[in-house]
Chain A
């Protein structure tokens, strides 16, 4: 770690890990409910569990992004963070709003709009909080000694993510219009500006881990994010096929969303090529594993499994079935959850001075969670495809079909147990690092890998 103020990232990473554990807990509650064991129905009905599961996901990922930015931006800008007390204030207000939102979901304080259930009064606090965050990051960047492409791409991703949240705060009487703007948040986040954040963090990690020249990495970064917007913006149309919009979206959304996997493929090729060109001298193998797996699994989950149901002819039958849940899990896991794990694995040794680079628990965490999540995806896929054939093609009633799917949810629970084991190992390692300390300042200079040719 170069600057003492980077340590603030640790708060965000810890909060992330805490929320991840909660998210998984609610995942199990839902998987059991799908299997017919809904004993918690009167206390935590399914709609509460699903809302909490999804919002915790979004909040822990965002917390991870914020931590990443607080770690990366001072390093890239070559300057202390602009204000540590304000960053601490931002953290605590963020945590409080998050906790209040989750508590509120238990008592029905929500808005029934998938992924955007946080009630409006809290939305304003979220917005205020994010403005404070962006202000701190931008001030650090502007006052820094240098302004790299990587840091700008990351920051712009964060700025646009905040801007896109705003249309989601407006209420419409027409459900179709409501849904139209909901996708400006959900789709244009995960298939747009979050990919900028992802590209920025990956570029940073690759520069640090491989020793490849910054200019080369940043050139390809532009190509990757260029492909993202080229396909992803009009690709929004794949959510407008059957939600009340005009039928030209079938054509436009179909063509452009079918090109979205190219952006993810470019991300994979980018990371793998840079690794191959690199000097392979960095001792932090775990960070490297997570960096490469992010680039690879995101292509599988978002790219390939997205493509599987994005064409209008297929989507007509799979739209709103468990096939969507199959894709949602591997996409979020591969692209964004793994990304947060990568930056944590990279930065924690440098903040704490404990060189956990290559230990057994770390590798177990990597393999159990990844194999577990792939198996979960397979369970959702089996359930989803069965649902599509029985309900959408053969015309059986929803609940008749649902009662036939219990076995798939049993498999889901087994797979989720393996996944959770992996996450537990990851968190054990995370706890082992302990708190960040100033004694870790300047320690990374020992690494050969950072001495570029």
Chain B
């Protein structure tokens, strides 16, 4: 039977080995993979401003982006190509707060510059390579 000492070695050995592999893969992802797939070189000041606003207003508290966030409001990873700039601008500047299909969005007083920043952020996000997410609907309604 397994002894306590062997069990301890199994725990410590396994942990160290897999931690090292994980750190190695993380370094590769952070230095090569992610910068490439997310076009890191295209993150300019406007995109950065958009990201800050995304963060400061906790948009993730209702929406998902890259599939992460809350499930109260639409997925926004590809919102730039789905809706286009004018629509996004209308959402962000709606005087009473956006609320198109019954569910209300918080009312924001963004400046023109801030709206442009958020749009730039969505435009950047739109072009990221997320290994196939979000998937095309496999049984779209139009195929009925």
| Contact call B18/A230, Cβ cutoff below 8 A | yes
**Interface size class, chain A:** 35 or more
CB distance from A318 to the nearest CB of B (A): 9
Q: Contact residues of A with B, CB < 8 Å? A: 30, 33-34, 36, 38, 41, 45-48, 50-51, 108, 110-114, 117, 149, 173-177, 179-180, 215, 218-220, 222-223, 225-226, 229-230, 233-234, 236, 240-250, 252, 316-317, 319-322, 324-325, 387, 392-400, 402-403
Of the A-B pairs whose beta carbons lie under 8 Å apart in the complex, a sample of 28, sorted by A's number, is A46-B73, A111-B55, A113-B60, A114-B60, A173-B51, A175-B125, A176-B34, A180-B34, A219-B2, A219-B4, A222-B8, A226-B14, A229-B18, A233-B19, A234-B18, A241-B133, A242-B130, A242-B131, A242-B133, A244-B128, A245-B34, A247-B131, A248-B25, A252-B25, A320-B75, A325-B71, A393-B139, A402-B101
| Contact call A174/B40, Cβ cutoff below 8 A | yes
| Contact call A222/B40, Cβ cutoff below 8 A | no
Top 3 A-B residue pairs of the complex, sorted by shortest distance between their CB atoms: A47-B61, A395-B137, A320-B67
Main secondary structure of the interface of A (DSSP, over half): helix
In the bound complex, residues from chain B placing their C-beta under 8 Å from that of A234 are: 18, 21-22, 25
CB distance from B137 to the nearest CB of A (A): 3
In the bound complex, residues from chain A placing their C-beta under 8 Å from that of B32 are: 246
Q: Contact residues of B with A, CB < 8 Å? A: 2-4, 7-8, 10-11, 14-15, 18-19, 21-22, 25-26, 28-30, 32-35, 37-38, 40, 43, 47-48, 51, 54-62, 64-75, 100-104, 106, 125, 128-142
Contact status of A394 and B101, CB under 8 A, knowing A46-B70, A108-B57, A242-B66? no
Contact status of A394 and B139, CB under 8 A, knowing A320-B68, A399-B103? yes
CB distance from B82 to the nearest CB of A (A): 9
Q: Which of A173, A220, A320 is the one whose CB lies under 8 Å from B71?
A: A320
Query: A402–B72 Cα gap in the complex (Å)?
Result: 8
In the bound complex, residues from chain B placing their C-beta under 8 Å from that of A45 are: 61-62, 106
CB distance from B70 to the nearest CB of A (A): 5
